[in-house]
Amino acid sequence: MDTAESQKDSFIQRLQEWDAQAVAEVIEFRGETTVVVPREHLRRAAEFLVNDRALQFTFLSDITAVDKFPEPRFELNYHLLSLEYRKRIRLKVRIPGDDPQVQSVTPIWPAANWHEREAFDLMGIRFEGHPDLTRILMPDDWEGYPLRKDYPVEGYR
């Protein structure tokens, strides 16, 4: 096992040792690591990843939302970078369609502000505790969420 491989394993092991319930699944695909986190543990896991001195995932590069219609309806992917350790990780949170909400990570990574607003605006995912959860791309009077798979191609009439 090379140094990069053992370092990756130590990041995952550290997170699991901190709280095994915060790690639902670990997915390795094409050299990328994805940690599936239950939505009720997202905020705590994010705080741990930022504040733990052995991890320091201080840079949030992106949040993407995916509609996996029918269920679990939505996935949020948080792309993180540890500048200190030159390590990337992806947090994945699965969200049911009947309750599309999750805690905001804006207090942890201020860059999440506009990413969360975009996911709200286009997918309808609500972020609890967001400082200004308003539309960012669509007009204020727009009905619905245009990136959902069940959104009509020609819009609502």
Q: Give this prediction's pTM.
A: 0.90
- Tens-digit pLDDT profile for residues 3-45: 555 555 678 889 899 999 999 999 999 989 999 999 999 999 9
Q: What is the pLDDT of residue 10?
A: 79
Q: Is the pLDDT of residue 2 over 80?
A: no
Model confidence band, residue 60 (pLDDT cutoffs 50, 70, 90): very high
Using the Cα atoms of residue 33, residue 36, residue 39 and residue 42 in order, give the sign of their dihedral.
negative
